[in-house]
Structure 1
Amino acid sequence: MSIQLSTVGSPYWMSPECLKGQWYDQRSDVFSFGIDVCELIGRVPADPDVLSRSDYLAVAELCASADPPPAFLQLAKRILFIY
């Protein structure tokens, strides 16, 4: 069930629908968790200028360059890009 709530939180971790003021649900929390995972893997801040939200290859390259455990990298990819 999607709901529309007031916008709260830091925009660096918000899902696209939250940023656009659209209806959202628990998948938005999963997206935020994906940003956390990518921050940990790539050892970079969540700043969209550093950690792209729209370029799968850039995120994959950033995360792969840190040589994380394969399961951790797969988790990040699935959260952010199958979201």
Structure 2
Amino acid sequence: MAINAGPEFKFNESISFMVACKDQEEIDHYWEKLSAVPESEQCGWLKDKYGLSWQIIPENMGELMQGPNAFAAMMQMKK
């Protein structure tokens, strides 16, 4: 649901959708369909053609982040 609250309320990243994907193929699928602003992509985040932010992540993201250098590795990634 979306509400038009007038020009005083600007659209921003405080609202995003998250898609938990089962594998890289599914991540690639959503990325290809949604990504429209390449300069805003990092760490699984992208923006679509309407400026809406999305988080496209693996289902096991919590498990993946348990590694000792996981955060540093993730910061180097786009998707």
Structure of higher RCO (CA pairs closer than 8 Å, 6+ residues apart): 2
TM-score, normalized by the shorter chain, greater than 0.5: no
The structure with the greater share of residues assigned to helix is 1
The structure with the greater share of residues assigned to strand is 2
Give the alignment's TM-score, normalised by structure 2: 0.26
Give the alignment's TM-score, normalised by structure 1: 0.25
